[in-house]
Amino acid sequence: MNRIFVLSPAYCAGKRSRILLGPEAEFGLAQRLRSESGAPLGELFSFLSGLYFRGKLTYSCAFACPPAGVPGIVVITPSRGLMVPSEPLHLERLQEFAEVEIGLAERRFREPLVQSAQCLALQLREDCEVVLLGSIATGKYVDILASIFNDRLRFPVEFAGRGDMSRGGLLLRCVLEQRELTYVSLSGGARHGNRPPKLPRLRP
């Protein structure tokens, strides 16, 4: 079965974003963000979100199985809809992301996401799974994706009840073990759950 992953966005208005956007930032990623070539979206969001986004990106790279001509991974962004992780961003774009709130009431977020998700849906066969690696407890982007991808939209049942850091650790562990999570539809899976036990520490 073909499968693509949709990654939830990183928060672009927090402390790490202010570090990147600050004129005094001289480390490599900040310099590339200001350069003509830019810095990849996936790398920037991994810096902004830390373990959680890094886990999502690493996991989806390991297990995506897209149809021909379709990206295996797309990322929800605050104002540009769905983008591929390799897309280069520049300083002005990250500044734009930091100014837009992620939510259904925000037109600058909602309309590009609807448009890009509809375009992606037209490229997929009915049997292609669309797995959301992100929060399914609120409707800020789930409602949009569910209305477009319908029963093809799925999420890992193991996410229910876990916080962001726990999800990130779980995803990285699954890559090490070459073990996929269990994907269920929104209509058939529990969107809320009790907090599971902490993951045991990995041996060095």
- For residue range 115-141, what is the model confidence (pLDDT) as tens digits? 999 999 999 998 999 999 998 888 899
Q: How many domains would you assign to the chain?
A: 1
Q: Does residue 103 form part of some domain?
A: yes
Q: Does residue 199 form part of some domain?
A: no
Q: Does residue 204 form part of some domain?
A: no
Domain with 133 in it: 3-185
Tens of pLDDT, residues 64-79? 999 999 999 999 999 9
Q: Does residue 162 form part of some domain?
A: yes
Q: Does residue 60 form part of some domain?
A: yes
| Rounded alpha-carbon distances, angstroms, from residue 94 to 45, 56, 68, 106, 197 | 10, 20, 30, 17, 36
Q: Is the dihedral of CA 171, 43, 137, 145 positive or negative?
A: negative
3-state SS track over 46-74: HHHHCHHHHHHHHHHHHHCECCCCCCCEE
Alpha helices in the chain (DSSP H): 15-21, 28-33, 41-49, 51-63, 91-99, 107-122, 142-149, 164-177
Helix axes 41-49, 51-63, angle to 10 degrees: 140
Q: How many CB atoms lie within 10 A of CB 195?
A: 10
Q: Does residue 171 form part of some domain?
A: yes
Residue 204 has pLDDT above 50, yes or no: no
* pTM, 2 dp: 0.90
Q: Does residue 195 form part of some domain?
A: no
Q: Does residue 19 form part of some domain?
A: yes
pLDDT band at 60 (very low <50, low <70, confident <90, very high): very high
